[in-house]
Structure 1
C-alpha cells in the first residue's frame, strides 16, 4: 500500500486516527511501500508505484468544503494513478458547494481501479452514496478505534474538564463563564514542532530516498500530540467537549463524557451512529442541559 495524506500537524485527533490506521495495517500484515504527507505531494513528489499497489488515504473529517486541500489531494491522486485500487479510510462528509461534490464524483467516476470510501456516520454514508455513485461505500467507526490499547494514564484529579474548540468548527454552545481550553501544547512542544517542520522540509528535497526518515518524524509528532491529549483526558472524572476525538478517545478510554454540537454536525452524526446507547456518554442539545448530563454519566463506567 501507498499511504497518502499522513497527518503532520499538531492535532491529537489526527494522531489518534493515524495510530488506529497503523495498528490495523500491522494486524493485517499490510506492507506500506511509501508514506507521505499532503505537502510533500504538492511540492511535486509522485511516487513510482508498481502495479497492484493500493492507494490508501488517511481518514478524518476532510471530505467537503471545510478543508478542501485534502479532498483535492484525493482527486489528484485518483487521476495520477488511474489503474490502482484506492481506499479512503473513515471520513465524514459535508458539502455546501454542489460543484465541489461534482468534482469528486468525476474523479472517482473516471478512475479505472476500484475505489472504496469508508464513512464514519450514517448521514455521511447516505450522502456519499448519492453524490459519488461510482465508489463502493462502507460504514465504519473512526479509525482511532483500530488501536485497542487506549487507557487512562492516571486516575482522575479534576471533576469536569471542558475541552472546547477555538476554530471554525467550534461549538454553537458558548461556555459562558465556564473555564475551558483546547488541546494543550507547551512552549517546548511548539519548539519541537517547528524543528520537525524544518527537518521535514530538508527531507522533502529528496523525498524518494527519505521515506523512512519522514515516517520517524510522523511517529514522533503523533506520540507528542497523544501524550498531551491522553494526559488531559485522564485527569478528568467527566469530559465535556465539542471535539470529536475528545469524545472518541474518552469513550475508548472508558471516561464519562458529554458531547456538544460542533459547527456542522459531525459530532451529533457520530454520536447517533455509534455512541447513543452507551450509558456513560450523552449529547447536550443546550448549554443548560450540561450540568444535569454530567451528573447522569458520572460513575456509569
Structure 2
C-alpha cells in the first residue's frame, strides 16, 4: 500500500479479533505501564475491558524481562511525539529482547523517525489517526501498521460504572496504600468541578494547550490525577469517577481529548477544541464525527463559553 493511501479503519470487532490473533497464543503478555493523566485512565480501562472480553487478562503481567514466546504490550495514548520520550525509551529498552510480538495500542505518533526506522516485523503499530498511519508507513516499512479507534471509544460506560464492580476494584486498590492515598486526593480535587448553568468548560493548562483563554487549572479534570495505571482496578476507578463528573453536565466545552470522548460516550452535547498540534481534530475526523451527532469540532470556543466559568464550591 502506498504510504499516503487512506486505509480502512478497523471496526471494534475487527480490532479485537486481530488483537486476539496477535496475543492469544502467547505465554505471557508484558504490559509496559505508560505514565499518564486521568484521561489516560479511560484508555487503560478500555484496554482492560478488551483484555477481559478476549480472555487475556490473566496473562497480562507487569514489566518483566521478555522471553521467547512472549508478547510485549504498550498502552495507547499520545506518548510517542517529540516532546515525550517514555514510549521511545520503553521500545528501545526491549528491541534486543527475544519476544515474538510487540503491540503498540492505538497511538498518536509524530516525529521519532529514527526510532520508527529501527522497528522490525515483530512490531504491530495501531494508529488512531490518518496522519499517524501515513507517518508510520513512511518511516517504519518493516513494521505492521493498522488504523484503529482510541481504546477509550471501546468503553462500555455501564460496565465501568457498575457499583458491584467498582466495590471490587476499590478493595483491590486498598492493597496498594500509596495508590489508595493518591486516589483519595483525586476524589477531593474533583469536588469543585461542577457545571455552571449546565455547562462544563474544561481546558488544558499544560504544554499541549493551544492557548484558549479562560483556562482554570482547578477545572482541568484530566490534570487532577497522574499514574502509571499498571493495574486494572485503579484505571477503572479513576475512569468511572471521570465519567461521573461529566454525567452532571448537559454540555461540555473542552480541548481535552478524553473529556470530549467521555462526554460523547455519555451522549452529552460536546464542543471539542484542538490541542496545540492537531491531535484532537485528527481523531475527531477519524472516529467521532459520524458516530456522535451531538459532538462537533470547533476552531474557537463558542461565544456562550468565551468567559471563564466560575468554580462551584461546596
Q: Give the TM-score, by structure 1 length.
A: 0.71
2:272 equivalent among 252, 259, 270: 259
Is the 1:2–1:56 contact (alpha carbons within 8 Å) kept by the matching residues of 2?
yes
- Per-residue deviation, 1:249: 1.0
Unaligned runs of 5+ in 1: 201-213, 294-301
Question: How far apart, in 1, do the equivalents of 2:29 and 2:160 lie?
Answer: 33
Pairing of 1:179-218 with structure 2 (within 5 A): 181-183=219-221, 218=231
Question: Which residue in the other structure is 2:83 paired with?
Answer: 66
Question: How far apart, in 2, do the equivalents of 1:104 and 1:17 lie?
Answer: 23
Question: How far apart, in 1, do the equivalents of 2:113 and 2:31 lie?
Answer: 21
Deviations 1:261-284 (A, max 9, x none): 101110011111122233201111
1:47 lines up with 2:68 in the alignment: no
Is the 2:133–2:146 contact (alpha carbons within 8 Å) kept by the matching residues of 1?
yes
Question: Which residue in the other structure is 1:272 paired with?
Answer: 285
Question: How far apart, in 2, do the equivalents of 1:228 and 1:26 lie?
Answer: 21
Question: Which residue in the other structure is 1:206 paired with?
Answer: none
Alpha carbons of structure 1 residues 221 and 185: separation in structure 2 relative to 1, 3 Å: farther
Question: How far apart, in 2, do the equivalents of 1:152 and 1:4 lie?
Answer: 21
- Residues matched between the structures, number: 246
Deviations 1:175-199 (A, max 9, x none): 37x897101788xxx8xx8xxx9xx
2:205 equivalent among 144, 166, 184: 166
- Per-residue deviation, 1:290: 5.2
Question: Which residue in the other structure is 1:296 paired with?
Answer: none
Question: Which residue in the other structure is 2:145 paired with?
Answer: 137
Question: Which residue in the other structure is 2:252 paired with?
Answer: 239
Deviations 1:59-107 (A, max 9, x none): 11111212112222123223223x4111110000122xxxx3212321x
Deviations 1:233-274 (A, max 9, x none): 111101111111011111112111101110111001111112
Is the 1:157–1:237 contact (alpha carbons within 8 Å) kept by the matching residues of 2?
no
1:84 equivalent among 86, 100, 104: 100
Question: Which residue in the other structure is 1:283 paired with?
Answer: 297
Is the 1:121–1:273 contact (alpha carbons within 8 Å) kept by the matching residues of 2?
yes
Deviations 1:28-85 (A, max 9, x none): 122553433xxxx5xxxx4353x3222111111111212112222123223223x411
